[in-house]
Structure 1
Amino acid sequence: MKINIIVGSIRGSRGSDKVANWVKTSADEAGLGAEFTIVDLKDYDLPLFAESQLPMAQQNRQETGAVKEWLDAMSDADGFIFVTPEYNHGIPSALKNAIDYLDFQLMKKPIAIASHGAMGGARANEQLRLIINSNLGGLPISNSVTLKAPVAFEEVVGDNGRLVEQYVREQKPLDSLLENIVWYTEALKTAREK
């Protein structure tokens, strides 16, 4: 059972990579019986989405290059945790662009969201929930993490992938999210295989 952790920002001074590292470290240490893999949008040089039709409407769709690599990385996962900052009251444009390329990769698969920012990224969290629950067929779980960190993320998540002491209170919501995403991933994978 594979769960992808999507790093939703490509900026140089981003915090999403550190938050994703915290999510993966916590998941690995919890021993939940799933393989957690970080998928970083920065590794995919995706062009601006400008296809003439929605991906789901295209029969015999043939993608190449970075788009194919992105779709392949998303296709082999059974569940997802999207890590997103909040930029201008919403998700980053790079994340929305990457999602626009998806066709059936999220269909009937559980999605968890870990947002972060000065106000916890709550607006980005809600916006992403709406996007994923649209025509993409992803199933957002009720648990989410809203990491409130008005400082640089180097001061929140250490190099070891763990929260620094003053932010330890944020660990419990993540632990709950991880338990639930694994439960839903297993349940929906079993149902999809019937």
Structure 2
Amino acid sequence: MNICIISASTREKSASLNVANFVCTQLKQLSVTSQVSILNLHQANLPMWQEGLTPNSDIEIQLNQADGFVFVVPEWHGMTPPAFKNIFFFFNACFAHKPVYIVTVSAGTGGRYPISELRMSSYKNSFINYIPVSTVVDHVNDTINDKGEFIAQSDFIAQRIDEGLQFLLEYSHALCQVRDSAIFKEKRFKNGL
């Protein structure tokens, strides 16, 4: 099983990357047989999409090899960062029939809007499968430090992430069968609805 965690912030020292590091540690503890990688959009240097532009093949390989994803997404002005949504323009097909657990991040009490935005606008052509569990990490700087360590007084968020990751692993196993099926290989309607 191969799980890719995407830190969706382009900031150099982002709270999203801190959360991604915490999630990575948790995943490795839950599933010692799984391979876990982090795609840090700050380091990816992915240009904004334009027709005819060739994407970075290393990123495409990492996304194609994944059986499931964790999206760690900050809320910027009530939205998903454009650099993260850009990933769907370049690598749309890499997400087909693969599960995603969304974890959103906010320095305050935000973080909810990216969940509905991603569920609404990124699934059609990608055939991505968002699992029904998601987690909002409010007051992120009081919850997970810059070393990726959980520091909150209550373990509520840690428990939510544990639950989400366990569901993600189960969905990842189940959807491997879908991707091995004849109907997946047929690709009759490649653009969804």
Q: TM-score, normalised by structure 2?
A: 0.85
Equivalence for 1:41 = 41
1:26-69 CA deviation, whole Å, 9 max, x = no partner? 111223642221111122211111116xxxxxxxxx935xx222
1:160 Cα offset (Å): 5.2
Report the counterpart of residue 173 of structure 2 in structure 1: 186
Aligned to 1:19: 19
- Do the aligned residues in 2 keep the contact of 1:71 with 1:102 (CA within 8 Å)? yes
Structure 1 equivalent of residue 54 of structure 2: 63
Counterpart secondary structure, 1:95: helix
1:120-168 Cα deviation digits (max 9, x unpaired): 411012112223322110000001110111x6x2x42235533104252
Distance 1:46 1:21 in 2: 21
Give the Cα separation in 1 of the matches to 2:30 and 2:173. Answer: 16
- Structure 2 unaligned regions, length at least 5: 182-193
Look up the SS of the partner of 2:94 in the other structure.
coil
Q: Residue type matched to 1:21 in 2?
A: N
Shift in CA distance, 167/22, structure 1 to aligned 2, threshold 3 Å: farther
Partner AA of 1:142 in structure 2: P
1:131 maps to which residue? 121
Alignment root-mean-square deviation, CA: 1.9
Identity of aligned residues (%): 27
Aligned to 1:113: 102
Mapped partners of 2:34, 2:121: distance in 1: 25
Task: Give the Cα separation in 1 of the matches to 2:61 and 2:92.
Answer: 11
SS at match of 1:90: coil
Shift of 1:13: 4.2
State how 1:66-145 maps to structure 2 within 5 Å.
Answer: 67-117=56-106, 118-145=108-135
Shift in alpha-carbon separation, 1:174–1:83, aligned structure 2, 3 A: same
Structure 1, unpaired ranges of 5+ = 53-61
2:170 counterpart letter in structure 1: W
| Aligned-pair CA distance for 1:73 | 1.6
After superposing on structure 2, the runs of 4+ consecutive aligned residues of structure 1 that deviate more than 6 Å are: none
2:97–2:178: 8 Å Cα contact kept in structure 1?
no
Aligned to 1:9: 9
Which residue, 141, 159, 162 being the options, matches 2:149?
162
